[in-house]
Amino acid sequence: MDLTLRVWRQAGPSDPGGFETYEAKGINEDMSFLEMLDVVNERLIMDGQLPIAFDHDCREGICGSCGLMINGQAHGPQLGTATCQLHMRKFTSGDTIVIEPWRASAFPVNRDLSVNRHAFDEIIEAGGYITVDTGSAPDANLMPVPKPAADAAMDAAACIGCGACVAACPNSAAQLFTAAKVSHLNLLPQGQAERYQRVLAMVDTMEEYFGSCTNHGECETACPKSISIDFIAMMNRDYVAAQMKNPRRLAQR
Ligand code: FES
């Protein structure tokens, strides 16, 4: 396949950046999108140019490191697929492909296509954990988990934290990410003790960085794990309940 790439190049967070055009010739259609970029980078290095910076780690759709806006779509044209799992057979020889980083003020560009997703880490630090006594592992059946709760928690836990939901949202909202992280703990018996404290802390932190959800639903479509926006409704319900349990806080808002 012979392709033309229009790639966003940016030296750092304060550099204005701009598009550069590269010819990617002789690309194998069985390559992943990131392998195609590897080939382009090898050629750039051979020519004495700086390679294109992009985030990646597992290349198996697990870690959430990869994330590119490909022809205006977060993670590209294949639904439910992270950039590292997208294959070049989804494109046609002769195509021009526009590649950009996630666009959101909460995700400043590190360099080229690599963005800083530290704001997500702060949301997790605020409440994405369960406080337990340490010690030897308890018996697996000590705390029974109803099957529907286990299934729903597992669906929420599929979130890999890539940030596609934010990049796809016209408001740069992080409701889907935050809802997935809140819900996978709040649905389980182990998460009940800190349930309301968790949702308040995580939503409050989210609001420091991200816009608000206005139900566009773009996040669900862009999510490489197809996480449902139903989790946003669950989070909102818990958030309202948490506010009601704390009337003084409600009066302050
Ligand atoms: S590189 Fe890990 S999910 Fe894509």
Domain boundaries, the chain: 3-111, 117-252
Ligand 1 centroid to Cα of residue 58, in Å, is 5
Kindly give the confidence (pLDDT) of every residue in the chain, 253 residues in length, as a single tens digit, with 9 standing for 90 and above: 999 999 999 999 999 999 999 999 999 999 999 999 999 999 999 999 999 999 999 999 999 999 999 999 999 999 999 999 999 999 999 999 999 999 999 999 999 999 999 999 999 999 999 887 777 877 878 888 999 999 999 999 999 999 999 999 999 999 999 999 999 999 999 899 999 999 999 999 999 999 999 999 999 999 999 999 999 999 999 999 999 988 777 666 6
Q: Which candidate, 39, 36, 9, places its Cα nearest to that of 21?
A: 9
Ligand 1 centroid to Cα of residue 32, in Å, is 11
The atom of ligand 1 lying closest to the CA of 162 is 3
Query: Tell me, which fold does domain 3-111 have in CATH?
Result: Ubiquitin-like (UB roll) (3.10.20)
* Pocket of ligand 1 contains residue 57 by CB under 6 Å: yes
What per-residue confidence (pLDDT) applies to 186? 96
* Under 8 Å between Cβ of 231 and 179: yes
Alpha helices in the chain (DSSP H): 33-46, 118-127, 147-157, 164-168, 175-186, 195-209, 218-222, 230-244, 247-252
* Under 8 Å between Cβ of 214 and 191: no
* Pocket of ligand 1 contains residue 82 by CB under 6 Å: yes
* DSSP code for 216: -
Distance CA 211, CA 207 (A): 7
The atom of ligand 1 lying closest to the CA of 85 is 4
What per-residue confidence (pLDDT) applies to 135? 79
Within 10 angstroms of residue 151's Cβ, the number of other Cβ atoms is 12
Ligand 1 centroid to Cα of residue 190, in Å, is 29
Query: Tell me, which fold does domain 117-252 have in CATH?
Result: Fumarate Reductase Iron-sulfur Protein; Chain B, domain 2 (1.10.1060)
Ligand 1 centroid to Cα of residue 162, in Å, is 8
Distance CA 52, CA 105 (A): 21
Distance CA 106, CA 22 (A): 29
